[in-house]
Homo-oligomer: A and B are copies of this chain.
Amino acid sequence: MKTIKVVGMSLLASSLLFGAGSLAEKAKSVGLKAIPADKAALMKLTDPDKTVTPARVELGKKLYFEPRLSKSGIISCNTCHNLGLGGVDGIPAARGHMWRANPHHLNSPTVYNAVFFDRQFWDGRSPNLEDQAQGPMQAAPEMAAAPSLVEARVNSIPAYVDAFKKAYGKDVKVDFVTITKTIGIFERTLVTPSRFDDYLNGKENALSKEEKEGLATFIDKGCTACHTGIALGGSMKPFPTVGKFKYANVGDFKGDKNGLVKTPTLRNITETAPYFHNGTVWNLAEAVKIMGETQLGMKISDEDAKKIVTFFGALKGRKPEIIYPQFPASTAKTPKPEFN
């Protein structure tokens, strides 16, 4: 009897907060948005410049998994943004060429739904996916490949050059910008609709009672001040930081000009531990409590944190089916792998 009463009170609390049946409306009123179920509406959001074509997506997928775009020939985009692991590597700080860790101890953010972010990278220094893809390929502790090396590798393989011609026309210049742009175009398709979207799109039963209660708590605590929009994050928008997250023991990352890091997406968050830009926290409920304290200046109880995490489970999305690519063989002209 006691248990039933407690549950009843919790539901009552939600109802009081938002009025019966209006939780979805309340969610929308604080800026939460569904991934559109309608394909045309979705494409309008993910492909505003109409650069996405099947040939480019197929080629971009191949390049995304292509280890020969790294200096060593054994690291691909998928190494750190593993499409089977929620789009991340599951380790605190990214590891790349020569086993180097990210010098700022930065955690690899997910590539899934990154198309919905306002800006790319933790400090938001890149405006879009196409631009972002240029970074890790060159970075010494990641793929460590100079643009000239990437271009030489790709251009040495006739099947790749043909694929670029098919994707962009016969006069295409297969240069570093076009190669990385094509990866970005593939990434525009990495969208994962979830039960949360089904709910916002009108399927009342898509969320369980407990998940709805978690959503209500999530809104009530004010988490949507930052975790909002389609990505439930992805913005550099400054907000009243109450506490201050401690960087001291995790490298020297300074964030953007305001000392802020980008709000990470909460989509697929149950799959993308460890958490925060520095990958220091493995437990999701603990991460919720830390954010409450440092960003919102409030103590979130264990019970409320648990409720919010229950809601997060509904953000686990349906991943696009990826057929693992077959890469064309290297030729005599293909620059050899380098390990230092």
* Residues of chain A whose beta carbon lies under 8 Å from any beta carbon of chain B: 65, 67-68, 72-74, 79-80, 82-86, 89-92, 95, 98-99, 101, 270-271, 273, 282-283, 319, 321-327, 329-330, 332, 336-337, 339
Contacts and interface: CB of A to CB of B under 8 A. Distances in A.
Contact of A270 (B92, B95, B329): B329
Contacts of A68: 90
Nearest to A271: B329
Contacts of A82: 67, 327
Contacts of A83: 324
11 contacts: A67-B82, A72-B95, A74-B79, A74-B91, A74-B95, A84-B324, A90-B337, A91-B337, A92-B337, A99-B99, A283-B332
This protein's copies in its complex: 2
A99 B339 contact: yes
A324 B61 CA distance: 12
Given A73-B89, A322-B323, 4 more contacts: A74-B91, A83-B324, A84-B326, A283-B332
The 4 residue pairs across chains A and B that have the minimum distance between CB atoms = A99-B99, A322-B324, A271-B329, A84-B327
A97 to B, nearest CB: 8
A325 B85 CA distance: 9
Nearest to A283: B332
A324 B327 contact: no
Nearest to A82: B67
Contacts of A99: 98-99, 339
Given A90-B68, A324-B323, A329-B86, A336 B74 contact: no
Contacts of A271: 329
B329 A101 contact: no
A330 B88 CA distance: 12
A89 B74 contact: yes
A80 B322 CA distance: 20
A185 B245 CA distance: 48
Contacts of A321: 323
A90 B65 contact: no
A101 B282 CA distance: 31
Contacts of A79: 74
B339 A273 contact: no
A86 B67 CA distance: 13
B282 A95 contact: no
Contacts of A89: 67, 73-74
A95 B323 contact: no
Given A282-B336, A336-B282, A337-B91, A325 B84 contact: yes
A321 B321 CA distance: 12
Q: Which of A92, A271, A325, A326 has the most CB of B within 10 A?
A: A326
A275 to B, nearest CB: 12
A271 B328 CA distance: 8
A84 B65 contact: yes
